[in-house]
Chains A and B, each alone.
Chain A
């Protein structure tokens, strides 16, 4: 993609939106999405296109990329250099780590977790997908689905990313063929049906030429769906949050040491799920004591209700002993209080594998515990989805089903029901490194 082609799209975009997201005309919300695919699929070009067309790419950034591209003898402006920020990446022409990018339209602010396609794709993809509302998978129309596309789709379903978009890119190189597009779309849809993918959209695009990115393409009149940006701006994410199960992990107890504010005791935290209101009867775990919510407060005053992702302070009617790591829930809807946990674990440490009998620290919501690996049921081959039950350890980027016993009970839900109270990280107690990510399948 050259500056000229980008500039042409620029004019069209300016006409469409009347400029960038200047003072909030209507309230914008926030969508986090992860991108997966390799440089060859045109992922960097697509991200460059989205940033450029929404005026989030700056001239000094573009000039720097153009200069480096020219110096390296690249035939075109290599937009991968935009996201490859580290010296080693530019020198070796690889992407090492998840890069975060930002753009906004008048409707939404977007956070892109751009994950590399090749190097340590599993660790990076799992990291990027853990917070994503949506994942965008790219395939090259000329090549169709490859092993990597299936892998990415599987990881998105494992991490319960609620929305999936398959972009069939480089449609210009297959003469904008409806037949090619539909063959890939059908094949992917059939594969996704075997996974847990709640919402799938397939868009034929040319990131290089700008077809179906910001505006619908005149070259593909047979495509009746929305342009990609239109879909990203409008995909309904409000219902993705769990507003049913009240889960409020206590993060910090606020007790002012002051002569003006006395007898104040508030439980600070971010609502993981559900809606909290003054007057609600609540139960505190692990103690099991019950009370009622006296007030839900923020620094700007009390609020009528709190829901995800609000950070608030909850005050209760009764004086109960509550500390960090406890969980406020409802008496008739509580998470498991469990020391035996079955989980899918993605191992992220290159130095030492996960082993049965191994002891680790784990962090789950605001609670820290120690855990011992009691069993490894199988390792999952993420290409074939075949379960290998003969393994005794999990190495870097491998995924398996693990049984853990924890020193103190976790207040846990199944990950498929609650991404916040169902996910945990495993930490090596010697090196303090984060070595694994776990998704709870069953807690008892």
Chain B
């Protein structure tokens, strides 16, 4: 704690205290929580907060990775190392396995963002998870700006934005019937800049792709995509090398990089503070579908 004056705390301490409170509420009140861990910066920060909430005890819940099969190798390596260090149980909800078993079918555009949802819901049902921690933040997207910290989902995993439980003071209502569940967003009140300030303060290691590096890319819809096995260059697209970094880490076939020279956490903070475009707007092909792309996916049970 870095007190600004007598009995005052900084904004990062206040955010941390709130997130820790939320995580403890879930573990105290719910039966089978799980933390959604993508290897992205927000889920990594969430994992740190979970350590803080239960120290010196172990984190008392497993983590789950919804694996689209389109992964950045740096991120998978990070995931496995971190899970081993913290002695966590990792559940992998695998889209490739679901494709093989016929649970889902590949979408026409080859993007796997949308077909993640049935795979996630299937794993939730199989493991009977009743609370899922997600790293979503309200500053990311306008549908999320209206979502509760404890977000109720019906037995189909669906979010009903017009029928949300009022959330007063710090009294969270996690009551649900069997089969229903709660998505919990401990980072609701954090911004992208808060997350980076916290990563700097806590000296949290991230997958290397968050920092500037040289990569072969193509330009598509005004965004830079890495050329890889999941995302081959299309006819007429020019491949070129650029100094880039990732602001978000998602499915490797629909997550774009941004031009950047920020190769340290301090430089990233400067860059994020100066940027005038949202991280999803800059890097996510999947959010460009329509005004309500995120809302529609959440209604279907997306994160």
Chain A positions within 8 Å of B, measured between CB atoms, are: 19-24, 26-30, 55, 58-61, 64, 68, 82-88, 90, 96-102, 104, 108-109, 111, 123, 126-127, 130-131, 238, 241, 243, 251-252, 254-258, 261, 264, 268-270, 275, 298-300, 303, 307, 309-311, 313, 324, 348, 361, 363-364, 366, 419-420, 423-425, 427, 432-434, 437
**Bound-complex Cα distance A61 to B280 (A):** 11
The distance from the CB of B108 to the nearest CB of chain A, in whole angstroms, is 23
Q: How far is the CA of A21 from the CA of B270 in the complex (A)?
A: 9
Q: Is the Cβ of B146 less than 8 Å from the Cβ of A130? A: no
**Is A97 a contact of B146 with CB atoms below 8 Å?**
yes
The reply to whether A311 and B20 form a contact with Cβ atoms under 8 Å apart is: yes
Whether B289 sits at the interface, judged by CB under 8 Å, is no
A-B CB proximity, top 6 nearest? A85-B142, A60-B281, A299-B55, A256-B57, A299-B52, A432-B175
Number of interface residues of B (CB under 8 A): 73
Query: Nearest-CB distance from B173 to chain A (Å)?
Result: 5
Contacting pair A22 B269 (CB below 8 A): yes
Contacts of A307 in B (CB 8 A): 7
CA distance A339 to B21 in the complex (A): 26
Distance between Cα atoms of A28 and B170 in the complex (Å): 22
In the complex, A55 Cα to B276 Cα: how many Å? 7
Other A-B contacts than A60-B281, A61-B281, A363-B173, 8 sampled, CB-CB below 8 A, are: A85-B142, A102-B138, A126-B168, A251-B28, A275-B7, A310-B13, A425-B168, A433-B173
CB-based contact B194/A23 at 8 Å: no
Tell me whether B291 and A258 are in contact (CB under 8 A).
no
Q: Are A30's CB and B15's CB within 8 A?
A: yes
Q: When chains A and B are docked, how far (Å) is the Cα of A23 from the Cα of B200?
A: 10
Instruction: Among A23, A131, A311, find the residue whose CB has the most chain B CB atoms closer than 10 A.
Output: A311
B169-196 contact mask (Cβ, 8 Å, vs A): 1 or 0 = 1110101110000000000110101100
Q: Which B residue sits closest to A128, measured CB to CB?
A: B168
Residues of A within 8 A of B171 (CB): 363-364, 423-425
Residue of A nearest to B299 (CB): A87
Contact A21 B273 (CB under 8 A): yes
Cβ proximity bits B139-167 to A, threshold 8 Å, 1 near / 0 not? 10111111000000000000001101111
Residue B130 CB within 8 A of the other chain: no
Contact A27–B2 (Cβ < 8 Å):
yes
Given contacts A102-B138, A127-B168, A434-B166, contact A86 B146 (CB under 8 A): yes
Taking a contact as CB atoms under 8 Å apart, the answer to whether A83 and B142 are in contact is: yes
Do A238 and B1 form a contact, CB below 8 Å, given A85-B146, A90-B291, A109-B194? no
18 contacts between A and B (CB under 8 A): A23-B200, A27-B11, A29-B9, A61-B142, A96-B146, A97-B164, A102-B189, A126-B166, A252-B24, A254-B55, A257-B58, A268-B54, A310-B13, A420-B169, A423-B171, A425-B169, A434-B168, A434-B173
Instruction: Assess the A261–B56 pair: CB atoms within 8 A.
Output: yes
Instruction: Indicate which residue in B27, B168, B266 contacts A423 across the interface (CB closer than 8 Å).
Output: B168
B245-283 vs A, CB cutoff 8 Å, 1 = contact: the mask equals: 000000000000000000000100110011111100110
Docked CA distance A324–B21 (Å): 13
Whole-angstrom distance between the Cβ of A70 and the nearest chain B Cβ: 13
Residues in A neighbouring B295, C-beta threshold 8 A: 85-87
B86: CB under 8 A from chain A? no
Whether A29 and B4, one on each chain, are in contact in the complex, defined by CB atoms closer than 8 angstroms, is yes
Complex Cα distance, B274 from A256, in Å, reads 44
Residues of B within 8 A of A243 (CB): 7
Whether A21 and B193, one on each chain, are in contact in the complex, defined by CB atoms closer than 8 angstroms, is yes
A29 touching B14 by the CB < 8 A rule? yes
**A27, A61, A261: most-surrounded residue (chain B CB, <10 A):** A27
Nearest residue in B to A437 (C-beta to C-beta)? B168
Residues of chain A contacted by B113 (CB below 8 angstroms): none
The answer to whether B67 has its CB under 8 Å from any CB of chain A is: no
Q: Does residue B42 face the partner (Cβ distance < 8 Å to A)?
A: no
Contacts of B175 in A (CB 8 A): 361, 427, 432
Interface centre among A109, A264, A363 (most CB of B within 10 A): A109
In the complex, the chain B residue whose C-beta lies closest to that of A438 is B168
What CA separation (Å) do A36 and B6 show in the bound complex? 32
Cα(A292)–Cα(B5), bound, Å = 27
A60 contact set on B, CB distance < 8 A: 277-278, 281-282
- In angstroms, Cα B58 to Cα A257, docked, is 8
Closest to A109 in B: B11
In the complex formed, the residue of B with least CB distance to A59 is B276
Instruction: Confirm or deny: B239 has a beta carbon within 8 angstroms of a beta carbon on chain A.
Output: no
CA–CA, A187 and B171, complex, Å: 36
Answer whether A311 and B21 are a contact pair too, CB < 8 Å, given A99-B145, A252-B28, A423-B171: yes
